[in-house]
Amino acid sequence: MSLTFAPAPTEPGAEAPPPPERRSLPRWAWALVVVAVWIVVWAFTKGQNTLAVPIREHSDVQNQLTDFRNSVLASRDSNPVVQLTYNLGEWFGSVFDWASRMISIPDLPRPVPQIGWLGVTAIATWLGLAVAGWRIAILVAASFFSFGLFGYWSDSMDLLIVTFVAVAAAVVLGLPLAVYYGTAGRTGTAILTTILDLMQTLPTFVYLSPVVLFFGIGASTAVVCTLIYALPPIIRIAGYGIRSVSTTTIEATDSSGQTRWQRLTKVQLPMARATIVVGLNQTIMAALSMATIAAFVDGPGLGQPVLQGLVRNDVGGAFVPGMLIVVMAVMLDRTTTAASEASEKAARGGVDVRLRRIVLAVTGVLALVAVYVSRQSFWAAEFRETSWGPRLADAVDSFFTWVTDTFHGVTQAMVDGVSTALLNPLQELLAESPWWLVGAAIVALAFVFGGIRGVVPAVVCLAGIRFFGLWHDTMLTLTMVLVGTILVMVLAVVLGVWMARARVADVVLRPFLDAGQTIPPFVYLIPVLGLFGPSRFTAIFAGVVYAAPAAIKLVADGVKGVSVTTIEASRSTGCTRWQEITKVQLPMARGSLVLAANQGLLYVLSMVVIGGLVGAQALGYDVVLGTSRSEEWGKGAAAGITIVLLGIMLDRIMRAAALNDAVAKDPTKRSWWRGMAA
């Protein structure tokens, strides 16, 4: 017998009670359903239609790409576009050559550069003092001395030249675009936003092949690659600063009858100065990162000895120039950051202008004297050879030999554990499933997490990956990327929650995370190669180390941003510490978690591609092979395009998932463009 209860009668005019809420399975449960079906079908079809091809075989599309490359090279003297790009590359090359003979290499018949190391160091130190203060001046002087003492003065100067030529061009091109980006409104900048999204999604290694095709190799290619990669930060960040100027301030100044140009130059640019300097900082760091990687296409600078060390598995030989790259990165990062703070302090009147002018005048005279001495005296023009670099390289080799011999069991256990628990099973599922099964599963997961906004880019990108004939290699790369992202998020959640809940942890860890974000990705391969040797795990581990700082900080800031009132309310109900973290803080910081996963995934993809240099194989190796062998250019180009498609697909699925979360919390964000901007 069952009992039924009639609904309570409602009074006339009273609102009817809302219908009971219909509950549906959460998205993670639907995702598990998709994966379960995938595994069942895979069990009956594994090894079929995986589209695996031998490394030296080419598809028709890849052969057509090679033919395209050959036709471009054959038309260098007749094609106006190719002539224009090569002329532009020659101009960049001539600028680099002039600057290099000025401060880096002998300007024959003069046996030394026009300005020797003492003069260059003095000028750089004076500039650091002028823009950022005496602490930065000391840092700059110490950095420049280290370049010479360790035997890499010319390479260091060449890397700085490439970086600053590219940054100067990025500022000239980027600031007008930033002004447009900040003043035209989101509808007017939709196309520019899409282009910037694409440029920031591309792994750095992918830029090399197409630029080499149209600009040749050497300094010109290094400058152009660096320029393209360094453009988005200054456009985006400076444009955001201009857009963020208070509407009330603009309206108040407009009431005085100012023109649009006066509004820009008198109000918006001055008030956005601090943000513009941040954009310049990010542009410089991006340029340094790309200029280092450009060594692979014969770009000059410290990247050359790092690359040679990686190719020879010479950890000590790669460590010393890699360390100097880190020194340079820290110097540039701290200088631009301190310059921003100094300009703000000066704007508030916190500087004695008269004393500052006297100090700069006196030190400027001393710098000019140093320049004169460096032109007249050989000892001040060229660094003498020292044993510092070779001794440090030998010490590093000895250290890593001791570490690998002593802790071989630990490192091998790490490799075996990750391979057994994550890498091998996931690779078996992705790479040994029929291509149509993998495609259907990815589209289904895209729909589960991102709805139709996730499905459309997934279908388009998967079709492109299939078209370019590297499906199996893509699955191998995707396996490494997903495993690396999982490890990054484990670190991000554990350390991020710890930083958010313990101030001591935040104070101790944040400086290391900040420093980690200044190191170019190329450098991360050096110690990891010493620990694990050339393998796919080396690329994954380097990707984890490279991506972890940004992901950890995003999670920490998201968890820390949870309202204190909400946390206190949960404690009043008797929540334990574990419940408080898992039931309150992490769910409310879900947006930060999704963003951390998105950034971590793209960072890992970038490093896994570079890992082709240290035995990671798959798409990264295809790119390396195509760049180094002319007959493999088509396959390398197809791999580069495939990496772009893979990155776009993963990025768009993650963005769509984040948008769905935002819509679930706030239905007013249903607009596609508003959601993407958010």
Kindly report, residue by residue over 402-431, the tens digit of the pLDDT: 988 888 888 889 888 988 999 999 999 999
Determine the residue type at 312: R
| pLDDT per residue as tens digits for the range 342-379 | 766 766 666 677 888 899 999 999 999 999 999 988 88
Which domains occur in the chain, in start order? 27-45+56-66+407-678 (1.10.3720.10), 82-102+160-299 (1.10.3720.10), 115-152+302-390 (no CATH)
Give the residue-averaged pLDDT of 486-507.
Answer: 92
Contact 272, 238 (CB under 8 A): yes
What is the rounded CA–CA span in Å between residue 284 and residue 332?
7
| pLDDT per residue as tens digits for the range 374-387 | 998 888 888 888 88
| Lowest-pLDDT choice from 1-15, 34-48, 317-331, 617-631 | 1-15
Confidence grade of residue 665 (pLDDT, cut at 50, 70, 90):
low
pLDDT, greater one: 169 or 511: 169
| Lowest-pLDDT choice from 281-285, 517-521, 662-666 | 662-666
Looking at residue 470, its pLDDT comes to: 92
What is the rounded CA–CA span in Å between residue 62 and residue 508?
50
Confidence grade of residue 187 (pLDDT, cut at 50, 70, 90):
low
3-state DSSP helix/strand/coil % of the chain, to nearest 5: 80, 0, 20
Tokens 């088509």 belong to which residue?
Answer: 634
Percentage of the residues of the chain whose pLDDT score is greater than 90 = 34
Residue 557, C-beta contacts closer than 8 angstroms, at least 6 positions apart: 500, 592
**Residue 378: both structure tokens together:** 């050989």
Nearest one of 307, 482, 322 to 400, comparing CA atoms: 322
What is the rounded CA–CA span in Å between residue 101 and residue 161?
11
- Whether 4 has a pLDDT exceeding 50, the answer reads no
φ, ψ at 503 (rounded to 5°): -65, -35
Torsion angle defined by CA atoms of residues 153, 610, 514 and 171, in that order, rounded to the nearest 10 degrees: 70
* pTM summary value: 0.84
Buried b (16+ CB within 10 A) or exposed e, 413-422: eebeebbeeb
Determine the residue type at 508: V
Percentage of the residues of the chain whose pLDDT score is greater than 70 = 92
Looking at residue 455, its pLDDT comes to: 93
Query: Cα angle vertex 668, ends 666, 674, to 5°?
Result: 105
Query: Cα angle vertex 297, ends 296, 299, to 5°?
Result: 90
- List Cα–Cα distances, 307 to 187, 311, 380, in angstroms: 44, 6, 30
DSSP annotation of 534: S
In 297-434, alpha helices (H): 303-312, 315-347, 353-376, 388-406, 408-418, 424-431
* DSSP-based three-state secondary structure for 285: helix
Looking at residue 561, its pLDDT comes to: 85
Confidence grade of residue 616 (pLDDT, cut at 50, 70, 90):
confident
